Amino acid sequence: MFEAIRDYTEPFAEKIGLVVHDVRTGAVFSRNPDRVFPSASVIKLAILWEFYRRVAEGSLNPEEPYVLHDDVKEGTTPYDTGILRDFHDGLVLTLQDIVTMMIVISDDTATNILIDRFGKEAINESMSRIGLTHTRVQRRMMEYDKVRAGIDNEISAGDMDRYFTLLLAQDSPMPAGCRETMLDILARQRYTAAIPSLLSEDTRIAHKTGTIGEVGLEHDVGLIYGPDGRPAVIVAALTQHLENRLHVIGTIAKMALESSLC
């Protein structure tokens, strides 16, 4: 049923990792699903899962206050993602505020606050436990010296498909209430230039983007809902060094939704 996507993506070779998964029928199309890509901000999905795993087990209270101080702020230019760095020292937030900003506006300060709280090893153990074999947190946000040294966060399209499949599964290790909250946060995503770009503005999309322009990365992964409000199709599109990559991802998402609704 994904013949058009297969033909459209054939010329992209190793520049794309893709899984398109029809939630209603179970049909799947993939291209390089196990290729490991530098994650950019899509790695924040792993931290989101660890946050709500701890909420579910009772070891983390999302309403716990967090006092923001200048020494944790990340980013210095308008091109660095986030808003927390612009707020005053001593601002009182909650952990729920922190995780929401990490996803909705991809705030790097929020991300590092949570990486430091949980630890990279604990996040990676959680990813392994749910079968995400290529998803690894190996650095904090903005640590580009580590990137230059060959140490980077990693994901694959296949892992991202499994992640969203688990957010929908009745037998998911994540409780239903937490999964609903996670999807609600992801549906408030402010970056809309890829998966949502060619879809109707009223289409519900729970997704996370990741971009590093200087190394040609453009990713968008998430769940697209049908006009009836039900989950329709998961699209996990990872690209590197691909021309017109935002348009490519948007085109794939449009084809995927149309195919799933046929």
pLDDT reported for residue 77: 64
pLDDT reported for residue 37: 97
Chain segment 178-223, per-residue pLDDT in tens: 999 999 999 999 999 999 999 999 999 999 999 988 889 999 999 9
Nearest-angstrom CA–CA distance, 18 and 30: 5
pLDDT reported for residue 262: 82
Chain segment 42-100, per-residue pLDDT in tens: 999 999 999 999 999 999 999 999 999 999 998 776 557 789 999 999 999 999 999 99
Chain segment 122-173, per-residue pLDDT in tens: 999 999 999 999 999 999 998 988 988 999 999 999 999 999 999 999 999 9
Least confident of 14-18, 71-75, 97-101, 102-106: 71-75
b (16+ CB within 10 A) / e for 190-225? ebeebbbebbeeebbbbbbbbbbeeeebbbbbbbbb
Res. 261 pLDDT band, cuts 50 70 90: confident
pLDDT reported for residue 79: 59
